[in-house]
Each structure stands twice: as C-alpha cells, then as structure tokens.
Amino acid sequence: MKRKRQVTTCTRNWLDLPKDVMLAIFMKLTAYEILFTAQRVCSSWRKLAKEPQLFRSIAIRHLWRCFRSNNGALRFTKELVDRSCRQLTDFSYDGDKSEMILRYVAHRTNMLKSLQINCCRFISDGALIKAAGSFPLLEELVLIKYSFSRETIKKLGRCCPKLKCLTLAFNQKESRDVAFAIAESMPQLRRLSLTDNYLENDGLEAILEGCPYLEYLDLRYSRWIVDPKLLNKCVDRIRDVWLPNGHKGIRCNLS
C-alpha cells in the first residue's frame, strides 16, 4: 500500500516580522483603523501604533458619522495630533469645531507644511492668523467655504513666506479685495485655485503681475472674468490653466 504523504502547513507569525515591515503595513491603514482595530490586537501592535511617523500626515474626513457625539470625534482628532509628537507635517480636516481643532494643532506642531480646512465658516479671522503664525514652514493652504477679509489674506501671506500652493473656494463679493491681497503678499505662489467667486478682470490682472512664478491657475466658475485678451495672457504665460468656462488651456477666440 502506498503511504499517504503528510502535508504540513506553515503558519506565519506576524509578530516575527521586522519593525520596519510592520510600520510599512500600518501606514497603509487609516487612522481610524489603527486606533480602533490594529492596536487592539496585542501589546506589541499597541506599542507600534504609537509611532509618531504613522501620524505625520492626518486626514479627518467624514469621520463624524463614526462617533455618537461631536466630543468623541474631537477626542479622536486630538489623540491623533498628540501621537504625532510634534512631527505633524500634513493636516486635513472636514468637520465641526474646526476653530478649536486649528488652535490645538497650532499649539502642538510648528512643522506643518500642508493645511486643508474644508469648513472655514466657523473660523474667525483672528484664529486663522494666530494659527498661521505657528506654521512658518507652510507651503500649501486650502480653505473651503471661507469668507475672510483682504487684510486677513495679506497677514496670511506675511505669516507664511514659503507658501507656494493656495486654494480658496469662496462665494463672496469681496473677491476683488482677495485677489489684490494675494498679489500683494504671496509673490512666491506656484499654484493658485480660485473657484466659484466674483473675481473680475482687474483682480486677475493684479494676480498675474504680483505672482510671476505661477505654474498652475484654476479659474473655474469665476463668472465675471470676460476679457478674452486677459484669459489668453494666462494661457500663454502659465503652463497649466483652467478657464472660467471649464476648458483647460484653450485660447479664446478674439474675432
């Protein structure tokens, strides 16, 4: 009789993997998965889940539905910021209590290079300026649903001299003032997005003169820019342009 071949199965012990490999795996997880799943597996994973490099980039989007109250989501966000151990470089936030969170981040890092706030209507001008003063290395700023004054934009430019990328999604009649403030205080900009606004021809002209290094310009839904020569100037001078009509980098017909 033929003997039956014994089949041995090898089981992998995840605890035997090198730390750098485990960190690479953990970096594929979301912050929510790290705090509420991975760190609960065992003591070694709980220790690994506190490594600051896992929290250098934090994005809080649509997480409020995972918590029973705003306070629970607020504690979760603060915990992530604390775990970065002042190494936080990229922070994106979409939720309530945005001014409180912004102040918290400003008190716990001065290394921030990218900041995105998707609901700015509850942030005061003073709070934004004070926070920006804590981010001298900031290179990218995204403010959605905001309404800030010309003076506030100018102060932002002075607080963040390294700013290269700016996105403002706003629908306010003071768009002209905002444009002139950008031109006066942010000469180093490489990328600028101004969508859904009341920007007019003179505001755009000021930006072209005040921001000579622009490589990307997004003017979609800027309804009041109607000078075809000015738009052609944008297309000729800037490498990547989105025009108010939604077309990308296409010269206007002057006939």
Identify the pLDDT of residue 198: 81
| CATH placement of domain 17-50 | 1.20.1280
* CB contact set of 27 (below 8 Å; sequence gap of 6+): 53, 54
Question: What does the pLDDT look like over 108-147, one tens digit per residue?
Answer: 999 999 999 987 777 888 999 999 999 999 999 999 877 7
Flag the least confident range among 21-30, 35-44, 123-132, 245-254: 245-254
At position 232, the amino acid (one-letter code) is: N
Contact status, residue 152 vs residue 124, Cβ threshold 8 Å: no
Identify the pLDDT of residue 173: 66
* CB contact set of 43 (below 8 Å; sequence gap of 6+): none
Domain with CATH 1.20.1280 in the chain: 17-50
Extract the tokens encoding 179: 């444009």
Burial letters 143-182, b for 16+ CB under 10 A, else e? bbebbbebebbbbbbebbeebbbbbbbbeeebbbbbbbbb
Extract the tokens encoding 100: 């409180």
User: What is the C-alpha separation between 221 and 199, in angstroms, rounded?
Assistant: 10
Domain with CATH 3.80.10.10 in the chain: 56-242
Mean pLDDT of 38-61: 92
Flag the least confident range among 54-58, 122-126, 144-148, 236-240: 144-148
Per CATH, domain 56-242 is 1.10.40.50: no
Flag the least confident range among 55-69, 79-93, 172-186, 213-227: 55-69
DSSP code per residue over the chain: -PPPPPPP-----GGGS-HHHHHHHHTTS-HHHHHHTGGGS-HHHHHHTT-GGGGSEEEEES-GGGSSSHHHHHHHHHHHHHHTTT---EEEEESS-HHHHHHHHHHH-S---EEEES--TT--HHHHHHHHTT-TT--EEEEES----HHHHHHHHHH-TT--EEEEE---TTHHHHHHHHHHH-TT-SEEEEESEEEEHHHHHHHHHH-TT--EEE-TTEEE---HHHHHHHHHH-SEEE-TTS-BS-PPP--
Question: What does the pLDDT look like over 205-215, one tens digit per residue?
Answer: 999 999 999 99
User: What is the C-alpha separation between 33 and 83, in angstroms, rounded?
Assistant: 15
Mean pLDDT of 165-182: 84
Question: What does the pLDDT look like over 3-33, one tens digit per residue?
Answer: 556 555 556 676 778 889 999 999 999 888 9
Residue 196 has pLDDT above 50, yes or no: yes
Burial of 239 (0-12, 13-18, 19+ CB in 10 A): exposed
Q: What percent of the chain clears pLDDT 70, i.e. is strictly above it? A: 87
Flag the least confident range among 86-90, 128-132, 173-177: 173-177
Identify the pLDDT of residue 255: 43
Residue 84 has pLDDT above 90, yes or no: yes
